[in-house]
Chains A and B, each alone.
Chain A
Amino acid sequence: MRRGRLTPGAVRKWGFIVSFLAVPLAIYIIFFVSPNLQALQLALTNSRGISPDFQYVGLENFTRLFGDDVFWAAVRHHGLILLVMPLVTIAIALFFAFLLNLGGGQKNGQLSGVWGSSFYKVVFFFPQVLAVVIVGVLFQAVLNPQKSGILNSVLGWFGVDPVGWLIKPDLALWTIIGVMVWQGVGFYVVLFSAGMAGVPKEIFEAAALDGANRLTLFFKITLPLVWNTVQVGWVYLGIAAFDAFALVQVLSIDRGGPDNATTVLPLEIFRQTFTYYRFGYASAMGVALVFLVLTFAALTLRVTRRERIEY
């Protein structure tokens, strides 16, 4: 077979690849790439979205971003969420995953999870099954600021006055981060469990035989061996930290309040688009958000790069 010739073999080979790739690629281009490019285009216009007439205004929308307090409030909130939420989620998920898989000590010479771990695995995964909006609605009841709210009535048994979880401007964002963690932990427990299951048991057993306690086992053996999985989880959670739209929309006071205390970029984009009909400016915010997410993902992958351990 000579190169560049359409021999039956080449047709079969390339036809096979193309036929598999064409449809997903087309869908990807039509529904993902092209809208993103259009957003970039719209970000340079003063489009209001309800008329085909608009003018190109250059970078005006982006300079406007610099003077927009609400935009910066949202960026700050993403920063805080990004600092706290992935770290807490991963810490809790790793802890649970370790307990579920290796934390139960030796049984018949084999390391196993704590008692009932297969049951817990299913329970931990529950929040992941629920749509985010349902989680939001659920937590509306849990975080209800009145005495009758679920959390507040539990606190009430201990004589604690009702807490305005989402009402206090300095508490509201932390509350929302808490809900995000609650919702995220289950998935990462399962993810890390799978990672730990992929590590040969002999390594743990050898360490255990050498007298490593659980703490050493976790930090010296388990964590380095599932580091790749943790890294993936970190990127996922980081990207999730730039979202939070549904939870803030459902839970927060006056959508993003009180006093902008919980607002996030996707919510502001939504508001600019569907309340103010500023499609151009909203697109500029969207472009800013994309760059934030990309920067984060690139940085994370670079910073957390490590030698791969082969086994």
Chain B
Amino acid sequence: MTITPRDITRRQLLARVGLTALVAGPFLSACATGGGGSQEAAPSAAAPSAGGASASANNPFNVKADAPLEVVIFKGGYSDEYATQSHEPLYKKAFPGATIKHQGIQTIGQTLTPRFAGGDVPDVVNNSGTDNLDGGALINAGQLLDLTPLFEAPSVDDPSKKVKDVIVPGTIESGLGGDPAKPYTLNYVYTAYGLWYDAKLFEKEGWTPPKTFDEFKTFAEAAKAKNIVPFGYAGKNASYYAYWMILISAAKIGGNKILLDIDNLADNAWNNDAVKQAAAAWAEIGKYMDPAYEGLIHTEVQTQQNQGKIAFYPSGSWLEAEQAKDTPEGFEYAMVPTPSVTAADQMPYEAIRAAAAEGFIVPSKAKNAAGGLEYLRQMLSKQGARDFTEKTKSLTVVIGATEGLTLSPGLTSVAAAQTAAGTNVVTFSSFEGWYKELETELRKQTNALMFGRISAEEFATKMQEAADKTKADSSIVKQTRNV
């Protein structure tokens, strides 16, 4: 799949509303601790379609067996084969009498906005892509169905477990919206962020990924001696790949509270020592970069990594699929967490940032809303999730769904990193979507920091100024998050 950086931020905009990401469940392990995570967003608010007399474990939403179902899928990097060849047949298997109308499109927003306005809406929508629907606006207009009944329903594979217990904790919270917050979006795809490298190159050179920044610097010298740039990112359009790393490091030093404070525009959030230390540590590594990288775009730098010119590249788990066409024989993607900055870091080295994305919604005025919920329940079956991973080379939020699948090297390393991380998950940054002005400033200052024009101290000062300006600006709607 090809995700341009902008697509990702747009997607995050929707997906990142108040994500807790208290991820407790390793992906591959069958003995996942998925049931352990406590979730707040699960009140037993009965939806109109749920809990009827004839509802059963096989049909918890009381779907009319012959009611037609209309599915609209965003046909982007993941295409829509996972729906037409897996999820829709699964639904059809459960309700053979139902006819399914499928639409795979890219302009979700433009196509569906008039339909929402007219009240003639589909039953399930994958609301993704650059041109997606404004989720917040739909929630405010009462157009979306509260998905709580879905998460409270028995799961397809094991009726004794509820759906919320078979998905990675944090998923439900990632789809919260509205006031009071309710889960309106099911984020289906699981993404992990870290440092990506060529496992084969490291094997050949006898290198191991550094676990601390001291080791990182030693490694950087070793790589430099071999004429390989130890770390690189694209300054022209993807400086946020670098600020993700700085923020992850800050959270590892000072805990997720650092990132919550930044999101909540808490006073002096950027002046926190954790932020300064993280910025200083990354700026040290930045010194090893080729200054030309500031003028390159992400694909150019990613291709340089494929050519063996760069050791580490900061990115998310879409990278391997994105570069599939350019990856030469013998290049094996792998991901590791960011190194620890201090010995007193609050989170261990293994901690990674992970998050759910690719949002699915059920319109509240759908003719077959129960069918929509059932469709999502089928998607969250092991079969549905497995098929998705097979077709898109991406992991889903369903725990243990990849058993028996041969994963690509990159996905294998992501799964291993998640298992190792356990509950040590670095949380999201919601300000990226909430406060675009602040985000733009962060991109700018990140390039200035990483390419040596300002110090970590100045970086923190400038970001604090921008945050204060955002806070003082009454025309910007403020949001807060507690988890």
Contacts and interface: CB of A to CB of B under 8 A. Distances in A.
* Mutual binders A and B: yes
Given A169-B453, A278-B475, A162 B448 contact: no
Nearest to B137: A50
Interface string B419-446: 0000000000000000011001001100
B38 to A, nearest CB: 36
Contacts of B295: 143-145, 164-167, 253
Contacts of B119: none
A259 B448 contact: yes
B290 interface: yes
A146 B447 contact: no
Contacts of A144: 292, 295-296
B239 interface: yes
Contacts of A257: 444, 447
B278 to A, nearest CB: 21
Nearest to A152: B292
Interface in B140-189: none
Given A164-B291, A164-B292, A167-B295, A254 B137 contact: no
Contacts of A46: 475
A260 B475 contact: no
Interface residues of A, number: 24
B363 interface: no
Interface in B223-255: 235-237, 239
B235 A254 contact: yes
Contacts of A104: none
A51 B138 CA distance: 12
Given A167-B291, A258-B447, A278-B475, A271 B440 contact: yes
B61 to A, nearest CB: 33
A258 B440 contact: no
Range of interface residues on B (Cβ < 8 Å): 20 to 34
Contacts of A32: none
A254 B237 contact: yes
B123 interface: no
Interface in A36-73: 46, 50-51
B70 interface: no
B263 interface: no
Contacts, number: 63
Nearest to B134: A50
Interface in A248-289: 253-254, 257-260, 271, 275-276, 278, 281
A209 to B, nearest CB: 56
B448 A167 contact: no
Contact of B440 (A51, A169, A259, A275): A275
Contact of A253 (B236, B290, B437, B475): B236
B320 interface: no
B436 A167 contact: no
A145 B292 contact: yes
A271 B441 CA distance: 12
Nearest to B237: A254
- Interface of A (DSSP majority class): loop
B263 to A, nearest CB: 18
A260 B462 CA distance: 14
A206 B235 CA distance: 60
A258 B449 CA distance: 11
Given A50-B134, A253-B447, A258 B294 contact: yes
Interface string B42-62: 000000000000000000000
B134, B137, B440, B451 — which one has the most chain A CB atoms within 10 A of its CB?
B440
B137, B448, B475 — which one has the most chain A CB atoms within 10 A of its CB?
B475
Contacts of B437: 276
Contact of B444 (A51, A260, A278): A260
Contacts of A276: 436-437
Nearest to B240: A254
Contacts of A258: 235, 294, 444, 447-448, 451, 453
A203 to B, nearest CB: 50
Contacts of A162: 292
A89 to B, nearest CB: 25
Nearest to B443: A254
Nearest to B477: A48
Contacts of A259: 444, 447-448, 453
B78 to A, nearest CB: 25
A145 B453 contact: no
A178 B440 CA distance: 27
B475 A254 contact: no
A145 B235 CA distance: 12
A46 B475 CA distance: 8
Interface in A108-124: none
Interface string B261-301: 00000000000000000000000000000111011100000
A164 B236 CA distance: 12
B444 A145 contact: no
Contacts of A51: 137
A46 B294 CA distance: 36
A164 B437 CA distance: 27
A299 B236 CA distance: 38
A255 to B, nearest CB: 8
A256 to B, nearest CB: 9
B242 to A, nearest CB: 11
A145 B291 contact: yes
A146, A164, A169, A253 — which one has the most chain B CB atoms within 10 A of its CB?
A253
A65 to B, nearest CB: 14
A143 B236 CA distance: 13
Nearest to A165: B295
A260 to B, nearest CB: 7
30 contacts: A46-B475, A51-B137, A145-B291, A145-B294, A145-B295, A146-B290, A162-B292, A164-B294, A164-B295, A165-B295, A166-B295, A167-B292, A167-B295, A167-B451, A253-B236, A253-B294, A254-B236, A254-B443, A254-B444, A254-B447, A257-B444, A258-B235, A258-B294, A258-B444, A258-B447, A258-B453, A259-B444, A259-B448, A260-B444, A276-B437
**Nearest 9 pairs of A and B residues by beta carbon:** A145-B292, A145-B295, A146-B292, A167-B294, A167-B295, A276-B436, A253-B236, A275-B436, A166-B295
